[in-house]
């Protein structure tokens, strides 16, 4: 079955351009022609598509999926995969996917929200509730206001990753997160704290086992450099994304630390490049495409059954073991003698 990446490869145009074209936006004629040719060559979006109701299939000819995403979302491979799952499943169900409400006037809308920050999500939640329109979040576990979602459990994922760092011998685990701006970061911090509580560890002691850093502490690199250069430096780092994990590793290496050895690092998402980074990155794999498919399934159910308040689907994550997390090697102190 052809994917967005197939269209990118065959057409020769960027993922961003392909998404703009598929969303009905204007692209250059050369890009349009190349992408159309790629669609014909790969058969993208054809298999399984249907446009009308059949036996036992509700008539959704008056409905559409509105994909609510931030600008430049396709730059992150995980969001692009989720969007592809959304488009694929909606196409199979015969529903158009639009990125602008103006392209769906007169249609019943179900909104799928992907990759937005907390403020935008709160705004969507209030607006769609006022309009009585189905709203489904991708990879957000929002408990309030009867929110619907398809997500992995980032709290459980973070707790599992923290446990793996502890198993490697880490005694002080750091995490930089934008909890005020992003719900997923909040969930990951909650998971880390819950793991610490279950382990009988209490953050905030004289030498805390858990070191929480936020944008108030500076950007990732300055914050990492400060704590990794200071006394009682962390020997484990739970990163809320693979990108941040890679930035922390580069900072650690620039300080002469060994990864692993002096510092073990685990990322989140298992995005492209994680397996090819140096050292290869241990990461929590998130099934982005499957989350997108599940979000559309929820949207369809809510469109077909207006009396249902909300639907939630929890998907499985998986910790992928690579070389960035390994046994901690204690360096001798200044008064210790090597044997």
Give the model confidence (pLDDT) of 50-83 as tens digits: 444 444 567 778 899 999 999 888 788 899 889 8
Query: What number does CATH give the domain 154-285?
Result: 3.40.50.2300
C-alpha triplet 253, 242, 294: angle, nearest 5°: 170
As a whole number of Å, the end-to-end CA separation of the chain is: 60
Give dist(CA 199, CA 327) in Å, integer.
19
DSSP at 145 = T
- pLDDT > 50? residue 250: yes
Predicted local confidence at residue 46, as pLDDT:
46
Give dist(CA 138, CA 119) in Å, integer.
15
Predicted local confidence at residue 48, as pLDDT:
41
Give dist(CA 22, CA 103) in Å, integer.
13
Q: pLDDT digits over 195-222, tens only?
A: 988 876 555 543 348 899 999 999 999 9
Q: Where are the domains of the chain?
A: 4-152+287-316, 154-285
CATH 3.40.50.2300 fits 4-152+287-316, yes or no: yes
DSSP at 172 = S
Q: pLDDT digits over 156-196, tens only?
A: 999 999 999 999 989 899 999 999 999 999 999 999 999 98
Provide the b/e sequence for 235-245 (b: ≥16 CB within 10 Å): bbbbbbbbbbb
- Domain 4-152+287-316 matches domain 154-285 at the CATH topology level: yes
- pLDDT > 80? residue 22: no
Mean pLDDT of the chain: 87
Q: 179 phi and psi, to 5 degrees?
A: -65, -30
């Amino acid at each position: 079955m052809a994917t967005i990446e197939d269209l990118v490869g065959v057409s020769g145009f960027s993922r961003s351009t392909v998404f703009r074209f598929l969303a009905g936006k204007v692209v250059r004629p050369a890009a349009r022609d190349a992408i159309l040719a790629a669609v014909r060559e790969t058969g993208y979006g054809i298999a399984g598509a249907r446009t009308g109701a059949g036996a036992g299939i509700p008539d959704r000819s008056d409905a559409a999926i509105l994909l609510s995403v931030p600008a430049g979302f396709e730059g992150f491979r995980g969001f692009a995969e989720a969007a592809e799952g959304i488009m694929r499943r909606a196409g199979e169900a015969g529903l158009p996917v639009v990125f602008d409400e103006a392209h769906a006037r007169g249609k019943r809308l179900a909104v799928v929200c992907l990759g937005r920050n907390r403020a935008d999500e709160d705004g969507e939640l209030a607006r769609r509730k006022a309009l009585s329109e189905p709203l489904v979040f991708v990879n957000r576990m929002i408990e309030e206001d009867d929110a619907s979602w398809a997500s992995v459990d980032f709290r459980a994922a973070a707790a599992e990753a923290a446990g793996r760092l502890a198993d490697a011998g880490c005694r002080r685990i750091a995490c930089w997160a934008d909890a005020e701006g992003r719900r997923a970061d909040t969930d990951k911090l909650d998971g880390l704290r819950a793991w610490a509580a279950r382990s009988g560890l209490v953050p905030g002691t004289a030498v805390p086992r858990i070191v929480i850093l936020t944008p108030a502490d500076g950007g990732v690199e300055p914050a990492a450099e400060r704590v990794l250069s200071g006394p009682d430096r962390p020997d484990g780092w739970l990163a809320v994304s693979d990108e941040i994990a890679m930035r922390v590793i580069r900072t650690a290496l620039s300080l002469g630390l060994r990864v692993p050895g002096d510092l073990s690092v685990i990322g989140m998402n298992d995005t492209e490049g994680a397996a090819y980074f140096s050292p290869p990155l241990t990461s929590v794999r998130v099934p982005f495409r499957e989350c997108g498919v599940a979000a559309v399934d929820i949207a369809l159910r809510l469109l077909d059954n207006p009396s249902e308040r909300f639907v939630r689907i929890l998907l499985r994550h998986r910790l992928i073991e690579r070389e960035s997390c390994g046994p901690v090697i204690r360096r001798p102190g200044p008064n210790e003698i090597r044997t």
